Amino acid sequence: MQIIIVGCGKVGSTLAEQLSREDNDVTILDINGHRVEQLVNEYDIMGYIGSGISFDTLVEAGVKKADLLIAVTGSDELNLMCCLIARKAGDCQTIARVRNPEYSKETEFLKKELGLAMVINPELTAAGEAARVLRLPTAISVEVFAKGKIEVLKFRIKAGSPLCNMEIQEIGPKLKGDILVCVVERGGVITIPNGTFVLQERDNVYIVGAQKKTAEFFRRIGIGSKPVDNIMIVGGGKISYYLSHMLLANGIDVKIIEKDAACCEMLSQKIPGATVIQGDGSDKALLMEEGLKRADSFAALTGMDEENIFLSLYAKTQSDIKTITKINRISFDEVVDSLDLDTVIYPKDITAEYIIRYARALGNSIGSNVETMHRIAGGKVEALEFVIRENAPVVNIPLIDLNLKNDILVACIQRGHQIILPRGNDCMQVGDSVIVITSRTGLKDIRDILGKSRAGQ
């Protein structure tokens, strides 16, 4: 596909890297010539210097032949205008990043009136991820599929856990756990394990299963699954705004600490149910005074990655508290993963996931598009949901007889109200939602899981 990305910031750069790797013809456009040159030299893409709301510049960048234009500049209004011009200049699909809370209620109106394929709000999406984790705070991450019926949860095996030194195939008989271990992360090494894989202390483990079954499994291994009752948030930005509304609606007490007086006044007016404190969230005395030791959860959501990391680490020294840490810039994944930070959210990566999922579906006309996609294990593994809408080569054939590519795991099948953790003799059928776990990238259709001999039939 021919894709134009307007805006070469954190999200634009991530999209340029990932979409170019998936055999798309990517063109970037930005007023910052140095950034354009840097990305063009780094990836196999084209670049133009100029404004995304210039008709002539868009035409020069190829908008009349483009399949998709993605506007992710720092200005909501520029993004919307760019998409509008692109729709008039060519016949491409358009995606706009819109971050202002004032626009969040008008998403459907904007899509309809401006002909947008998608409006993506990174902060709102990141807040949703944080809220999901707080429903099950013992999980590090919670990814949902099949409209919330299936979950992929990440947790860390702690000392004394019954899972220590247990083979995966023993989990069912010994713990009556109706879940499937789909990925194990150990010392930076990612494994899609078989039944004889032995779990160890400090492994990061991803499990898949029905929502009720995953909660039952956590109880069986001695991990509480009670939702939090209150949260302390440091930083009063957009994610805090959205997250506070979500949590208050679920009866969770919210306290926000923010330095800026004007921001505090705005938050007090727009989130009347929250307690807003003006002060320096890095002041240990203030955190203690405001009840850090009594809090169930703590979210570091300031605009500084380093401050967020240190705040969460400090909170963990004060109590056994659930922490959420926002990181925008830092790329030292190995270092971050080695820290006891619980849940880390990366708004730019969440945004890229949604856009790449749409791009794959747009480029696929076979009939079983990617419905949901989450990158897990530091982006090294993809968890994808396919809905089988036609008689594809995978249908009605036992999994054991399918010529699956390496590093592919069919992890879960939803058939009507039934959730199936598939074994070798199970089959996929038309109408099924199928969850696939893979360390490969670029899967667009369910038949992409097959080796050439079967896929070509």
Across the beta sheet with 118-120, the strand order is: 46-49, 25-30, 2-6, 68-71, 93-97, 118-120
Cβ atoms of residues 348 and 328 within 8 Å? yes
pLDDT, tens digit, for every residue of 48-94?
A: 999 999 999 999 999 999 999 999 999 999 999 999 999 988 889 99
Greatest mean pLDDT range, 78-92, 185-199, 255-269, 343-357: 255-269
68 and 25 together in one domain: yes
Q: Is the pLDDT of residue 364 over 70?
A: no
State pLDDT tens for residues 83-132. 999 998 888 999 999 988 888 778 888 888 888 989 999 899 999 999 98
228 located within any domain: no
| CATH code for the domain of 157 | 3.30.70.1450
pLDDT for residue 365:
52
Residue whose C-alpha is closest to residue 309's, from 295, 327, 328: 327
Give the pTM.
0.84
Q: Do 240 and 332 lie in a common domain?
A: yes
In whole angstroms, how far apart are CA 409 and each of 146, 244, 261? 17, 37, 51
Q: Are residues 366 and 431 in the same domain?
A: yes
Question: Is position 281 within any domain?
Answer: yes
Is 324 found in the same domain as 280?
A: yes
What is the distance between the alpha carbons of residues 343 and 154, in angstroms, rounded to a whole number?
9
Looking at the structure, do residues 297 and 196 belong to the same domain, yes or no? Answer: no
Q: What domain range includes position 389?
A: 356-455
* Rg over CA atoms, the chain: 23
> Mean pLDDT over residues 390-414, rounded?
91
Does 239 fall in a domain? yes
pLDDT > 60? residue 457:
no
Q: CATH code at 78?
A: 3.40.50.720
**Domain-located, residue 350:** no
pLDDT-based confidence at residue 366 (cuts at 50, 70, 90): very low
How many residues in the chain?
Answer: 457
Residue 199 located in a structural domain: yes
Q: Average pLDDT in the 267-281 region?
A: 95
48, 89: one domain: yes
In the chain, the percentage of residues whose pLDDT exceeds 90 is: 66
Q: In terms of domains, do 84 and 144 share one?
A: no
The reply to whether 227 falls in a domain is no
**Closest residue by Cα to residue 446 from 376, 406, 388, 407:** 388
Residues 114 and 133 in one domain: no
Choose the final residue of a domain: 191, 220, 249.
220
Q: Are residues 180 and 273 in the same domain?
A: no
Strands in 370-376's sheet, in edge-to-edge order, are: 370-376, 381-387, 433-438, 408-415, 418-420
The total of other beta-carbon atoms located within 10 Å of residue 88's CB is 12
Question: Are 205 and 291 members of one domain?
Answer: no
The number of beta carbons lying within 10 Å of the beta carbon of residue 172 is 14
pLDDT the model gives residue 349:
86
Q: Are residues 6 and 68 in the same domain?
A: yes
Indicate whether 294 and 368 sit together in one domain.
no
Cβ neighbours, 10 Å, residue 368 = 23
Q: Last residue of some domain: 120, 136, 167?
A: 120
Residue ending a domain, among 175, 197, 220, is 220
Number of domains in the chain: 4
Coil, helix or strand at residue 347: helix
- pLDDT tens digits, one per residue of 415-439: 999 999 999 999 999 999 999 999 9
Report if residue 312 sits inside a domain.
Answer: yes
